[in-house]
Structure 1
Amino acid sequence: MANRIIVRRENSPPGGFQTGPARACRRGLLGVAAVAALACGGAGVAAAVPGVGSPGSTEANVAVSSAIALTGLTPSFTLTGVPGATVTGLGAVTMNVATNNLAGYAVTVESATATMAAGAPTNLDSVPIGALSVRESATTNYAALSSTVVRTVHTQSTRSIEAGDTISNDYQVVIPFVNEDTYTATLNYIATTL
């Protein structure tokens, strides 16, 4: 087993700790250094004064696009008569058009087919779509419907009212010599901004 040799200075206490005046001096120096460090560390921090603000502003924008809506279109109507008769339906179709477009809007109608088809599968007759005419209510002339040419049934150069404008159309048919039946065609309406 090896021997361990401990060398100790006569004037130093065990562990090398200083006592008496030397230790007090050392503590005093450490205290001064700590205070100086705190003072230096806080020198760069500016205290906020109450009531002082930093102003700024932003600009709010609301971009409104043009819009148009056709709603409340009459789902169907029927004109009834005998061959050779001219049958009129005043206000047969109504709708509501709402738009914020300052230049106004137009409403058109066009048939999806060139003929009105018979309801009975065994009935081979049909009614030409041109036998059916339309006009805007309270106007004079009727225009024959077509599957290739749109008919304008309302136009105006101003926007609608906020709740939308009520549009009304009259229809008239000259019934040809065909079998007794109900003949049907789909009419497509479109409201367009100008």
Structure 2
Amino acid sequence: MSLLELIAVADERGLAASGLACLDRCLPLLADGGEPELLRPLWGSCEDGRDWDTRLTAAREAMEGENVADETAVLVRKMLGAAPSEWSADPLREWARACSLVALEIHRQFDIPTGGGTGGDGVQDSTEQLKRWSAGEAEGAGPLVAGELHRQIKILETLAETAGTAGSAGGLRGALDRSTEGRRVLRAVMSRRARGRT
């Protein structure tokens, strides 16, 4: 199934973890590199929604203390700010879709060579392209976007496979591990980009 199809059929657990994983991978954009520990309590709520609202409020307060370096970093803070307090499939699905697109857009920007433009109709053209990639049309996706698409798909597949089973906790750990891997990739790309500008 495509990324959009997986999001469409995911349960609350899968949607919350998917959105949270997208946010987690983009933490390096914060000026000080982000602190993944601020999201750990929320990961603990993904299994059944217990204390989701309380932990979400705490995570938002913690992220308010993080510095943002540019407009792209502001997107990371907005992702957390847009998370629904209600543990319900519909609002979580909307959030997961939005987080997915933001994460893909961030990776797309790093696929573009320094000084390159978006071409076409700018933001609108970019959004349509991201939606096509999410729907399974991978043509034109750069290596970072392709990697991010793969991670998002594998996380949702793993969570769906382990839902309601004895391995459900392992599914969440797998999602966190993939997210950590993606965070390291983005941090390395950002470091190379910064060195190229000096």
* TM-score normalised per structure 2: 0.24
Bigger strand share: 1
Bigger helix share: 2
| Larger RCO, structures 1/2 (Cα 8 Å, 6+ apart) | 2
